[in-house]
Structure formats: structure tokens, C-alpha cells
Chain A
Amino acid sequence: MPRTYDLVAFSDDGTATTQSLDQSFGPFGTSGSLCTGIKKLMQRFLCLFFLPKGGDIYDVDAGCDFMHLARKGSLKNNFDVATAFALSESDVRQQLKDIESDDDPADERIARCSLTSSSFSGGAITLNIAFRSQAGEVVDYVLPISIEV
């Protein structure tokens, strides 16, 4: 099977020497870029991670509860963040497994995504996550998320 490609939506994939703290679709300078392998897998993970469960009215089971909790102001400290991340990661991981096909290469199959650390600053919380594929490849990623304080 030839490799398949997806668009680049999230600029900071952890492989750049400098990390942008702005999450945006089609970021400046990378619009129209394609990605594959673990980068593609990570994009897919983030699409589901940032989708509040029920937010897609045509597929109400897609997504997870992390953004719900962040917007409600339920994340007050690092312990709250770690708990919410663990539950959401598990949910998203299962959804990714559900859409995997036998033809997907190992670096496009998720093994685990873990929260390395989190920090609060003003109205934002920054997550440092480590993303691991079944090929054993690991990508570190920084996720700044606006929250209700």
C-alpha cells in the first residue's frame, strides 16, 4: 500500500527547532503542506482531542470531554488537568483504533499519548505531551489551550 497523506493543520509537530505557541489551521508558511506517518497520526489525534464530544451533530460520539472541562473552568490545577487528559486520551485513542485499517503502517497507528507536564499562565493552560506510535517513534508536542479561569 502506498502511503496516504493529509493536510497539515497544526503547525507545531515537535520536530521544528522553534515551537509556535499558536494553534491554528493552515498556519502561515505551511498552508497546503502535506504530512504522513506519525505527523498525520498526531493531526488526527488532535482533531478528535479538540472536538468536544457532541460537537459534531452528525456523529455525537466523536471527540472527548477535555475541551468541555476546559471551557467550563473545571481545570483548576495540574491534578485536574492530568485526570481530564487521561480520560480524554483513552477515549480518543479508542476512536483512532476504531478507524484504523489493516493496511495502515505502524507509524500511523497510535500506541499512547501521555501528558509530560502542564502549566497555567493567565487564561491559558499549556500541555506538554509525548505522542508514541506503534513503530516506537515518539514526538513531543506543546499544546497551549485557552481556558475559563
Chain B
Amino acid sequence: MIIEDLTTLDATEVQQSITKLKAMVQELNPNLDWRVGPLGSAVLQPLATVYTAIMTNLELWRQSSTLYGISQNPTLADQETVDAVMSNYLLSRSSGAKSSGYVLFVMSAATELVVKSGTTLSANGKSYVVPASYSARADVNNVLLSTDRPIVQLDSATYGFFVDLIAAEVGTDYKLTSGQTLTSSVTYPTVLQIVVVDDFTDGEDVTTTQKLLDQVNLGLSAKTLSGNSQMMSLLNSIYPGVSSQTIIGMADEELSRDKRSLFPVTPGGMVDWYVRSGLLPDTKVIEKTAVIVEKPSSLEATLQFTLTATEAPAAYEVSRIIKAGELNVQGSKQITGSTVQFDFADFDSYPVLSSPEEIAFTAFQSLTVQFEDEATYLSELEVGDTVTYSVYVKIPRDIRSMQQYVSSANNSTSAGDVLIKAAIPVFLKVSFNLLPPAGSILPDLDNIRLAVASRINQLGLGDTITGSMILTEVHQFLDDAAGVDRLSMFCRTISPSRNEIRKVYTDLIEVVEDPYVTARTSCVYLDPQDVVITVNGV
């Protein structure tokens, strides 16, 4: 940040410049008086002020022109100079991207209306803009343009139509997840609710100088499937959303695939490559036809469907199941279990895999889910009949694409096999109680939720999470006299064997005891909606 405003100069530095210049010109002109007076005040001081600005800018430029200087002071280093330096290491700063998606306008009647371009919707204290004028059409024959949206019946009493939406600013804080509701700057009499149906795209923050510094060693590394830093550099260059990765290889205890030799040695040449590919996994809604596998009564049934590796690659879990078309229904059918199978569709070559645990959270995983339903529409159906459901699946981003890249004939290493695995998920839920001083103004709780989630989701595999880390974020929004108590961190780990391990921590989140879960293979996700805040116990 180049100094262009002289009022931002440090007064002490200006005084030091005055003293220094005074000594210099006094030596050259011993007969002139440079103290306070016309010469000192009207000539020397402005000169010293400009001199200080030039020297400060030179110092900033000097700091910004070497990696050492930038690392000493990343926040002050001049951005343009840093970018020029970073270009030597094949790194560039991202200007960020806006999160986007679509929302469902839920209405009490099938009334035609227009949502105008530029209409602002809000959620979590953030603004979102409607990018075009969308016309809700009651008659499907009138849907002629891409901005004409058909009104569909959601249930017996509600109707709805979809509208595209884009974040007002760049940044990851703007990502909305399914189920969140928004408020509109415009009142529509028949609109009951505006709700997010499918997760928004992540959005992207402007790359900070510190982040560029962190990437320097990856930028320099040759992008090949060889050493760890080269491999990480390769993945980062293709998938900039990868925020953390660990490579588990020969002799690492987490790698089971190379421990099946007849002899007590590992043959090597195998790699399990764990990645955190996004701040949060995406939640996708997939229409699935489920088969009735059991019918204990006329209105009750156990059903089953399979998510293939192409439909939901490396899926973490199915978080919700509702009857197809009933978008306005709360809750979910009761999920009773899930199993993993091999699915090698579309891959010409693939790693050595022999157990469900080894394929969990990889591009080769298909997931069979069983659930129970109880409804009148089941009364006429028998075992073997099918029903269509909307299935909400949490999917880590780009795992299939990454596997295709490392497995392709052009890129794969001929000395072994590489298996991309999504980091084992630890879904965190945080709760705490705020104790603001009497009479104080309560901070915006949504901002606290976002800040806490952002702090946690920036962490990588193996990073330690402490309660104090969360409290530090919370206290940024509080008066000095405010307090926080009853901090609770509830962790739900889904192990590769599909066991759910639930633990509650108050001080430090520890890695659960499971043969497949270690600090190097797991990461913690925190959805802002899972930050539960009470105020004075309420």
C-alpha cells in the first residue's frame, strides 16, 4: 500500500526527517537558521514531509520486492509489487469470485409476478442480487424465454418458482446452503418464503498476500506426480479450491493398500492422497427412484436406492430424504443405514482396492442407502415397487475429476498408483452462551456464526482446533465486559467404515479412536447454521 496521503505519515518519522534534514542543510548552509520560522516551517518541514513519504514508499517497495521482506510484513507490503514478485514463482493473485445459485419463491397462490433485475435479497446479513428480471408464469405454454419461470405446485397449499441469484460481493462468506431462507427488499403479497434449495457455489476470496506466501514453495515446485511438494503443487495449480492436502505413502500407518504382501514388507508405489477440496462439501439434491425392500404394514415401508459414483462421487452422506416434489416439506425420512460398493465406471485404470474402507470417499464409491417411510401413498404398493424421492447428498468437490486426472494415461505415474480421497469428514456443531453486559447492544449473531465457521473451515488436515480459537473469534464482536460460557463442540465423524462417531469437547477437539481416522486424514467442517448461540441462557 503506497502512501499517497501525507496525513497518514507517522508524526515521529516526520520529526526524525526534519531533524535529519536540518542537520544536513545546516552543515551545507551554516549561516541559515532552520528552526521554527519561515525557512524551517515553510521550506524545511514540507520538504521533510515529502521526504518521509518517499522514504516510506521506498521502504515498502524494498519490503515488497523480496520474499523475506514480504513475509516480515505481509499486510503492509505493496500489493502490485508483491504480485510482480510472485509472478516469478508462477503465482498470481485471484480477484475473487461471487457465490451464486438459485432460490425458490414459495407462494400461497399460483399468481403471476415479476421479480425485477437488481432486486436485493438478504440472508446472514449478506446481500444477494437478482441478475435479470424473472417472470413467474402460471401457464407453462407462456414459458418462452430463459427468464420465464414456470409456477409449480409444491403441495396442496403452496406453489413456487425458481429465480437465479448472485452474491453482491466476492467471497466465501456468501455461500448459502440448502434450507436457508432469505428476505426480500421488495414485498410480494403472495410470497410466503424464499428458500435455498441447492447449495450455492463456493465463491472465492481475494487472495491475500499471506496466502500467496504460503503457496510459494508449491509455485516453485515442478508440477509432477513425484515428490510430495511436486504433487501438491500439481493439484493446487489445477484445483485452486484445494485448501489442504496430505499424501499418505509407503510406511505410513494410514495406508492399508500396500500392506497385503505375503512378506512383512510394503512394496511401495501406492499413495492415498487426502484433500480438502472446499470450505464445505456441496449439498446436491438428486431425484432417486427407491425400491421397497420391506413392508411391515400397509402404510410403512423400508426402501433402498443406490447413488452411483458418477451421480454422487465420494459422497460423505445422505443428509435428507423427502418425497419428490414436496420441496416445502420440513424434516426427512428416517435413514437407517448405508453401505459402500465398488464402482469403476468410466475409469480405464484404477488403484488397487480391496475393501469398502479403502474406497470410502473416493471416486470409486457408490453408496446404497436404506430408509423408512410412512405415508398413505405406500398403501397400494408392494415389495419391489418404486417411489421417487429427492435426496440431499453431501459431496466433496472435484474428487472424481482429480482421480480422472491422476489416473489418465498421460498423467499417471508408471511407478505406482494414486488414490484421491476426500478428507474424512468431522462435522462440527458449536454452541455457546453470550453474556453481554446489561444494557449493551447485542452484536449481529449471523456475523458471529460466519466468523466462527470461516475460522474453522480455513483449517486444514491435521490442524488443531481449540475452544479458545472459537472464543477469540466470538470476542471480536463483543464489548470488553462481555463474556462467553457453556462452549460445547459436538463432533460427528463419519469413518470410512461408515461408523458415525459422536463426541463432545469443550477445550480441544481430539481425533477419534478409529483405525481409519488420524489427524492427517481428517478435517473439520462447520456449517454457519451449526453455530448455535444463546444469549443469557435463552
Q: Mark A60-91, 1 if CB is under 8 A from B, else 0.
A: 10100000000000000000000000000000
Cα(A9)–Cα(B30), bound, Å: 20
- Some 20 contacts from A to B, beta carbons below 8 A apart, are A4-B30, A4-B33, A5-B33, A6-B32, A6-B37, A6-B38, A6-B39, A7-B43, A9-B37, A44-B35, A44-B37, A47-B37, A47-B38, A47-B41, A48-B36, A51-B41, A56-B45, A57-B7, A58-B9, A99-B35
B345 at the interface (CB under 8 A from A): no
Residues of A near B36 (CB, < 8 A) are 44, 47-48, 62, 95-96, 99
Residues of B near A8 (CB, < 8 A) are 38
B379 at the interface (CB under 8 A from A): no
A61 CB to nearest B CB, Å: 11
B493 at the interface (CB under 8 A from A): no
Total count of chain B residues near the partner, CB < 8 A: 21
The closest CB in chain B to the CB of A1 belongs to B30
B43 CB to nearest A CB, Å: 8
Judging by beta carbons under 8 Å apart, are A5 and B42 in contact? no
Contacts beyond the supplied A6-B38, A40-B37, A47-B40: 16 A-B pairs with Cβ under 8 Å: A2-B30, A2-B31, A3-B31, A4-B30, A4-B31, A4-B33, A5-B31, A6-B39, A6-B40, A7-B37, A7-B39, A25-B38, A43-B38, A58-B14, A59-B11, A62-B36
Q: Mark B32-57, 1 if CB is under 8 A from A, else 0.
A: 11011111111101000100000000
Cα(A38)–Cα(B366), bound, Å: 96
Q: Which of A2, A4, A58 contacts B11 (CB 8 A)?
A: A58
B262 CB to nearest A CB, Å: 80
Residues of B near A95 (CB, < 8 A) are 36
B349 at the interface (CB under 8 A from A): no
B20 CB to nearest A CB, Å: 14
A140 CB to nearest B CB, Å: 20
Q: Which of B10-36 contact A (CB under 8 A)?
A: 11, 14-15, 18, 30-33, 35-36
Chain A to chain B: the 4 pairs with minimum beta-carbon distance, closest first:
A9-B38, A4-B33, A58-B14, A7-B38
Q: Which of A43, A44, A58 contacts B49 (CB 8 A)?
A: A58
Q: Which of B15, B31, B37 contacts A58 (CB 8 A)?
A: B15
Q: Which of A6, A51, A56 has the most CB of B within 10 A?
A: A6
Judging by beta carbons under 8 Å apart, are A58 and B45 in contact? yes
Residues of B near A25 (CB, < 8 A) are 38, 42
Q: Which of B9, B18, B32, B45 contacts A5 (CB 8 A)?
A: B32
Judging by beta carbons under 8 Å apart, are A57 and B11 in contact? yes
Judging by beta carbons under 8 Å apart, are B11 and A43 in contact? no
Q: Which of B299-348 contact A (CB under 8 A)?
A: none
Cα(A36)–Cα(B40), bound, Å: 14
Residues of A near B41 (CB, < 8 A) are 47, 51
B31 CB to nearest A CB, Å: 6
Residues of A near B9 (CB, < 8 A) are 58
Cα(A40)–Cα(B39), bound, Å: 11
The closest CB in chain A to the CB of B7 belongs to A57
A37 CB to nearest B CB, Å: 11
Q: Mark A3-23, 1 if CB is under 8 A from B, else 0.
A: 111111100000000000000
Q: Which of A8, A40, A47, A48 has the most CB of B within 10 A?
A: A47
Residues of A near B33 (CB, < 8 A) are 4-6, 40
The closest CB in chain A to the CB of B30 belongs to A2
Cα(A58)–Cα(B10), bound, Å: 8
The closest CB in chain A to the CB of B52 belongs to A58
Cα(A62)–Cα(B14), bound, Å: 14
Cα(A22)–Cα(B432), bound, Å: 70
Cα(A9)–Cα(B41), bound, Å: 11
Q: Which of B7, B15, B39, B42 contacts A59 (CB 8 A)?
A: B15
Residues of B near A5 (CB, < 8 A) are 31-33
Cα(A9)–Cα(B32), bound, Å: 15
Cα(A62)–Cα(B37), bound, Å: 12
Residues of A near B7 (CB, < 8 A) are 57
Cα(A139)–Cα(B7), bound, Å: 37
Residues of B near A59 (CB, < 8 A) are 11, 15
Q: Which of A3, A25, A43, A95 has the most CB of B within 10 A?
A: A43
The closest CB in chain B to the CB of A60 belongs to B11
Residues of A near B11 (CB, < 8 A) are 57-60
Cα(A60)–Cα(B14), bound, Å: 12
Residues of A near B32 (CB, < 8 A) are 4-6
Q: Which of A4, A60, A62 has the most CB of B within 10 A?
A: A4
B18 CB to nearest A CB, Å: 8
A63 CB to nearest B CB, Å: 10
Contact status of A43 and B37, CB under 8 A, knowing A6-B32, A57-B7, A58-B45:
yes
Residues of B near A99 (CB, < 8 A) are 35-36
Residues of B near A47 (CB, < 8 A) are 36-38, 40-42
Cα(A62)–Cα(B9), bound, Å: 18
Residues of B near A48 (CB, < 8 A) are 36
The closest CB in chain A to the CB of B43 belongs to A7
Residues of B near A57 (CB, < 8 A) are 7, 11
Q: Mark A109-139, 1 if CB is under 8 A from B, else 0.
A: 0000000000000000000000000000000
Residues of B near A62 (CB, < 8 A) are 36
Residues of B near A96 (CB, < 8 A) are 36
Cα(A2)–Cα(B31), bound, Å: 7
B29 CB to nearest A CB, Å: 9
The closest CB in chain A to the CB of B13 belongs to A58
Cα(A8)–Cα(B42), bound, Å: 11
B15 CB to nearest A CB, Å: 6
Q: Which of B9, B38, B40, B42 has the most CB of A within 10 A?
A: B38
Residues of B near A9 (CB, < 8 A) are 37-38, 42
B323 CB to nearest A CB, Å: 69
